[in-house]
Amino acid sequence: MTARQLSPSNHFARIDVLRAVAILLVFFHHYWLAVLDLSGGKWSVPPWKGLLFFPGSIGFLGVKLFFVISGFCIHLSWLKWRRNSPAGPLPVRRFLPGYLWRRFWRIYPPYLGALLVFFLIQYPEPWSGESLRQLSVHALMLQNLSRQFFQNINPSFWSLAVEWQLYLVYPLFLVVALAWRIEAAFIAATGVAFAMRLAGLKWGGNYFVLHSAFSHWLEWVIGALVADFFLSGRKVFRWHPVVVPVLIFLTGYVHLRDGLSVSRYLVPTVAFAALLEWYLHARRPLALAERILVPVGLCSYSLYLLHQPCIAPVLRAMRAWMDVAPPAVIWVVIPAGLFVPILALSWLCYRWVELGSIETGRRLWERRTAFVSTKPACD
């Protein structure tokens, strides 16, 4: 792997392009749901709608892409830390303090700020028992584990709870990868993910099982697998003697065993991982459209935090006009017009809140380690 391939312009810019693709999928899916909910299905849906929303839940697919990217980036952070750190016992234990510190300051303060804003808007009596229960569960990032809390305050927040829980279980993956090999850790984690997914479906969509971090582990660890191969200049999606046969077997098995319900979990995940690997190994410079997407990817986290509660109120205000609007206006002009101001607001939140939180965490970490000769560092 050359230094050029790992330079910010050739590596992280491509990651941001993929993040932009993920947030666009999520945004337009939530817009689509809001339109169908508000209109009761009476507003015309263009014939190409099926192409845009195949295979059923584009929001779900966008979240999958986010998880794959996150697994890649977090594991790449570990690999770089391990390469630059002196050898010693218990490397995972030495990595954990800086890793968890940085993850906390990266996602939690912006999340908490958005949570409080939307909570106060949604709950006019914030001191009632139910209001405080909702706020407490969301503040602890546990809302993904119960149907009662899953869709409240901001429905998009469920995946951020999963993301945080994936951060917490990631060290288990590292321990297995160090004890055996990355392929063994991947296969073990994939087995756990499929067991959880099948159990959740068998038990009628049990949220504690179906939406736990372990149920989404495949999206995370396949990104980590791509990172491990990428840093050493290899590719997963060539004929690997272990990984590729396992993926092929699982794909065939779920189609025979459970039809669409689980195959839609596996196939997009593998496809996104293959896309990520192919795109990162591409040597051509970014095209104009890709360069335009880079800023969208940079503020994609703020976009994710803010977009969904902003869509429905605007559509309700425009409902009478939308009743007579042509389909092209409903499905192209209005979502584009909505996206631009939300993107502008998200960019401001990225610059002022996200980067401010990251910088605060960095400064506090430097103070904490001021008298330590060697300090952990993670991206």
pLDDT confidence of residue 45: 55
The token duo for 149 is 């809390």
Q: Coil, helix or strand for 16?
A: helix
Query: What is the signed CA dihedral for 256, 260, 266, 272, rounded to 10 degrees?
Result: 140
Determine which helix (DSSP H) or strand (DSSP E) holds 231, and give its type and residue range.
Answer: helix 217-231
Which long-range contacts does 307-312 make (Cβ < 8 Å, 24+ apart)?
307/23, 307/26, 307/27, 307/30, 307/156, 307/342, 307/346, 308/30, 308/154, 308/155, 308/156, 309/118, 309/121, 309/154, 310/338, 310/342, 311/30, 311/31, 311/34, 311/338, 312/34, 312/37, 312/38
Residues 6+ apart with CB under 8 A from 62: 21, 22, 23, 24, 25, 26, 29
In 3D, which of 24, 6, 1, 9 has the Cα closest to residue 299?
A: 24
pLDDT confidence of residue 226: 95
How far is the CA of 307 from the CAs of 58, 155, 352, in angstroms?
Answer: 15, 11, 17
pLDDT per 10-residue tile (average), the chain, 379 residues: 40 90 91 81 53 50 93 94 78 90 96 96 89 96 91 93 95 91 90 82 72 90 94 79 62 53 72 90 90 96 96 88 79 90 97 96 85 42
- Cα(66)–Cα(225) distance, integer angstroms: 15
Q: Cis omega before residue 55 (within 30°)? A: yes
- Read off the pTM: 0.87
pLDDT confidence of residue 171: 93
Boundaries of every domain in the chain: 12-367
pLDDT confidence of residue 208: 77
Q: How many helices (H) and strands (E) does the chain have?
A: 18, 0
| Three-state secondary structure string covering 315-347 | HHHCHHHHCCCCHHHHHHHHHHHHHHHHHHHHH
- Cα(307)–Cα(23) distance, integer angstroms: 10
